[in-house]
C-alpha cells in the first residue's frame, strides 16, 4: 500500500510540474496570445458582418395563425402538438421553397421558415420567415400561411372522409343485420297475422278477455231465451191445439160478429127492435153466431172467446220472436266461439314465439340505436367538413419585415466562443512546438524537468568579457568541465 501511494504521489507531482511548465510556456507567449485572440476575434466579426450584410435572409417577417376548430358532438379536434407537426412538415416547406426559388431564383433555405407554438397561448402558432428583401419576406410569409391552411384543411378532410367511410360501412352492416332480423320477425309474425307483436300480444289478450266476457253474457241471454221459450210453450200447451189450427177461421167469425154488433149498436139509435132493418141485422148476427157454434162443435172445440184468440196470437207471436232471437243468438255464439278459438290459437302462438320475438326485437332496437348514433356522427362529420377551411386562419396578414441586426448578444457570444476555440488550438500548437523544438527560457523551467537535477545559478556579468569570442570561449570551457562531470549546463540569455 505504501508503494502504491508513493507511485500515486510521484504521478501527481509529474502532472503538477507539467501543468506549471505549460503555464510557463504560455506565460512567455502571453502577449502573442492576446494579440492573436484580438486578431482572430476581429476576423470572425468582420466575416460575420459581411455574411449578414450580404445574406439572402436578413429580413424577418412574423405572422400568427389561430387554430379555432369547430367541434361537434364527439368528433375530437387535433391537439396543438399534432398541429405543430403538420405545420413543420419538411415536405410542406421544401415544396414551398422550391416553388419560390424557381419563380424568382431566390436562395431560400429550409431553416429560413420556422413555425413555433407558445405553450402559454394554446391554439396560436407563430410563423417566422427570413428573406433577402422586405417585400419578399412579407409576400412569402402570407403565401406560406395560406399553404399551411390548405395543408391542414387537406389533412383534416382526408381524416374525416376516411372516418366517414368507415362509419358508413358500419351503418350498412347494421342496416343489413336489421333487414335480416326484420325477415326473421316477418317469418314468425306472418302466420300469426300480426304487425307489431308486442302491441298485438296485448291487444289479442285484451280482445280475448272481451270475447270471453261477451260469450258469458250471450250464454246468459240464451239461457233466458230458452227459459222464456219453455214458459211460452207451457202456456200454449194449456190451449186446445185445434184452436191453433183453425185460428184464422175463428177470427173471421169473430170479426163478422163484431162488425154486426157495431151495426146493430148504431141501428138502435135510429130504429126500434120491431123495425125490419133492425130485425134483419139481428137475424144476420144470429146466423153468424149459429155458424160459429156449428163450426166449433164440428171441430170439437168446447168454447172460445175473442180474448183467448188474442192471447193465443200474442203468445204465438212472442214465441216466434223468442225462437228467432234464440236462433240469432246461437249464430252469434257460434261465430263468437270461432273468433275466441282463433284468438286463443294466435295467443298461444304469440306466447310460444314471444321469447324469440322479444330477443329479435331487442337486437333490432340495439342495432337501430347504434345506427342512429352512427348517423349522428356522420352528420357531425359532414358539418365539420363544411367548416374545416375556417378552423385555421390568419389573425392579421404580415405588413412589414424587420431587418436582422448584424451583432446581437447571441452573435457576439458565438464569435467570442469561436475565437477562444481557435486561440485554444493555437496555444496547444505553441506548447507542442515548444516541447519538441523550443529552448529552456529560465532556471524555473529547468526545475520542472525530471531529467535535470538543478544545482543552482552561476551569475555572470557581460562586463567581465571584453569580446564575444572571449565570452564564447569561457562558456565552452565551463560547459566541457561540467560535461566531464556528467552534468548538463544550460545557459540562459545567450
pLDDT number for residue 76? 76
Note the Cα 110 to chain centre separation in Å: 38
Question: What mean pLDDT, rounded, does the chain reach?
Answer: 76
Give bridge partners of residue 393 from the DSSP assignment. 66
CA distance readout (Å), 439 to 68, 124, 141:
75, 67, 63
| 256 contacts 274 by C-beta, under 8 angstroms | no
pLDDT in tens, 150-177: 998 998 899 989 988 999 999 999 999 9
Written as nine digits, the cell of 280 is 134483419
| The dihedral sign for the CA sequence 243, 245, 247, 253 | negative
Asked whether residue 105 carries a pLDDT value surpassing 80, the answer given is: no
For helices 276-298 and 247-268, what crossing angle results, to 10°?
160
pLDDT number for residue 213? 86
Run of H or E including 115:
strand 113-117
pLDDT in tens, 338-383: 888 887 777 777 776 677 777 888 888 898 898 898 888 888 888 8
What CATH number is given for 56-169+388-406 in this structure? 3.30.70
Average pLDDT for 88-105: 79
Q: 197-377: same fold as 56-169+388-406?
A: no
> How does strand 392-394 pair with strand 59-67?
antiparallel
d(CA 391, CA 79): 13
d(CA 193, CA 186): 10
Q: What is the residue extent of each domain of the chain?
A: 1-55+407-443, 56-169+388-406, 197-377, 455-494
Written as nine digits, the cell of 386 is 363544411
Average pLDDT for 443-467: 63
Run of H or E including 67:
strand 59-67
d(CA 281, CA 259): 11
pLDDT in tens, 309-338: 666 667 677 778 877 888 888 888 888 888
pLDDT number for residue 260? 73
pLDDT in tens, 275-288: 777 777 777 777 77
Architecture of domain 197-377: Orthogonal Bundle (1.10)
| 278 contacts 271 by C-beta, under 8 angstroms | yes
494 pLDDT band (50/70/90 cuts)? Answer: very low
d(CA 15, CA 375): 82
pLDDT number for residue 162? 92
DSSP classification of residue 404: P
| 126 contacts 66 by C-beta, under 8 angstroms | no
Q: Is 78 helix (H, G, I), strand (E, B) or coil?
A: coil
Give bridge partners of residue 403 from the DSSP assignment. 59
> What beta strand segments (E) does 395-457 contain?
402-403
pLDDT number for residue 407? 56
Phi-psi region of 493 (alpha: psi -120 to 50; beta: other; left: phi over 0): left
CB atoms within 10 A of CB 323: 15
* Residue for grid cell 524537468: 449
Highest mean pLDDT among 81-90, 182-191, 430-439: 81-90
Global pTM?
0.49
pLDDT number for residue 210? 85
d(CA 59, CA 405): 9
Amino acid at each position: 500500500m505504501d508503494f502504491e501511494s508513493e507511485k500515486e504521489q510521484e504521478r501527481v507531482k509529474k502532472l503538477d510540474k507539467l501543468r506549471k511548465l505549460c503555464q510557463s510556456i504560455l506565460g512567455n507567449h502571453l502577449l502573442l496570445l492576446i494579440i492573436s485572440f484580438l486578431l482572430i476575434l476581429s476576423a470572425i466579426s468582420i466575416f460575420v458582418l459581411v455574411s449578414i450584410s450580404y445574406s439572402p435572409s436578413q429580413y424577418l417577417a412574423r405572422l400568427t395563425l389561430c387554430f379555432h376548430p369547430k367541434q361537434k358532438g364527439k368528433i375530437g379536434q387535433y391537439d396543438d402538438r399534432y398541429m405543430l407537426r403538420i405545420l413543420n412538415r419538411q415536405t410542406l416547406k421544401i415544396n414551398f421553397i422550391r416553388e419560390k426559388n424557381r419563380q424568382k431564383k431566390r436562395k431560400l433555405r429550409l431553416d429560413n421558415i420556422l413555425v413555433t407554438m407558445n405553450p402559454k397561448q394554446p391554439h396560436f402558432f407563430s410563423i417566422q420567415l427570413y428573406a433577402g428583401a422586405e417585400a419578399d419576406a412579407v409576400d412569402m410569409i402570407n403565401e406560406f400561411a395560406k399553404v399551411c391552411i390548405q395543408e391542414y384543411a387537406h389533412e383534416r378532410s382526408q381524416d374525416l372522409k376516411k372516418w366517414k367511410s368507415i362509419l358508413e360501412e358500419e351503418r350498412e352492416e347494421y342496416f343489413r343485420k336489421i333487414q335480416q332480423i326484420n325477415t326473421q320477425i316477418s317469418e314468425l309474425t306472418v302466420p300469426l297475422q300480426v304487425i307489431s307483436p308486442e302491441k298485438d300480444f296485448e291487444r289479442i289478450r285484451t280482445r280475448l278477455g272481451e270475447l270471453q266476457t261477451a260469450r258469458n253474457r250471450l250464454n246468459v241471454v240464451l239461457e233466458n231465451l230458452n227459459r222464456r221459450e219453455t214458459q211460452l210453450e207451457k202456456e200454449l200447451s194449456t190451449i186446445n191445439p185445434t184452436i191453433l189450427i183453425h185460428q184464422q177461421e175463428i177470427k173471421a167469425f169473430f170479426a163478422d160478429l163484431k162488425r154486426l154488433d157495431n151495426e146493430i149498436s148504431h141501428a138502435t139509435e135510429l130504429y126500434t127492435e120491431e123495425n125490419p132493418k133492425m130485425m134483419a141485422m139481428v137475424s144476420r148476427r144470429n146466423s153468424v153466431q149459429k155458424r160459429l157454434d156449428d163450426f166449433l162443435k164440428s171441430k170439437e172445440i168446447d168454447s172460445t172467446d175473442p180474448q183467448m184468440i188474442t192471447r193465443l196470437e200474442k203468445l204465438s207471436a212472442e214465441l216466434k220472436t223468442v225462437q228467432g232471437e234464440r236462433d240469432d243468438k246461437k249464430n252469434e255464439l257460434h261465430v263468437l266461439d270461432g273468433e275466441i278459438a282463433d284468438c286463443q290459437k294466435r295467443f298461444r302462438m304469440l306466447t310460444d314465439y314471444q321469447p324469440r320475438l322479444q330477443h329479435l326485437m331487442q337486437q333490432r332496437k340495439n342495432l337501430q340505436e347504434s345506427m342512429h348514433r352512427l348517423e349522428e356522427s356522420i352528420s357531425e362529420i359532414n358539418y365539420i367538413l363544411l367548416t374545416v377551411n375556417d378552423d385555421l386562419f390568419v389573425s392579421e396578414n404580415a405588413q412589414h419585415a424587420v431587418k436582422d441586426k448584424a451583432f446581437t448578444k447571441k452573435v457576439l457570444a458565438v464569435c467570442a466562443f469561436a475565437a477562444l476555440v481557435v486561440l485554444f488550438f493555437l496555444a496547444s500548437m505553441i506548447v507542442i512546438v515548444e516541447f519538441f523544438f523550443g529552448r529552456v527560457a529560465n532556471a524555473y523551467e529547468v526545475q520542472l524537468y525530471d531529467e535535470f537535477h538543478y544545482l543552482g545559478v552561476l551569475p555572470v556579468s557581460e562586463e567581465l568579457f571584453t569580446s564575444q569570442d572571449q565570452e564564447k570561449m569561457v562558456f565552452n570551457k565551463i560547459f566541457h568541465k561540467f560535461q566531464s562531470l556528467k552534468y548538463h549546463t544550460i545557459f540562459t540569455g545567450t
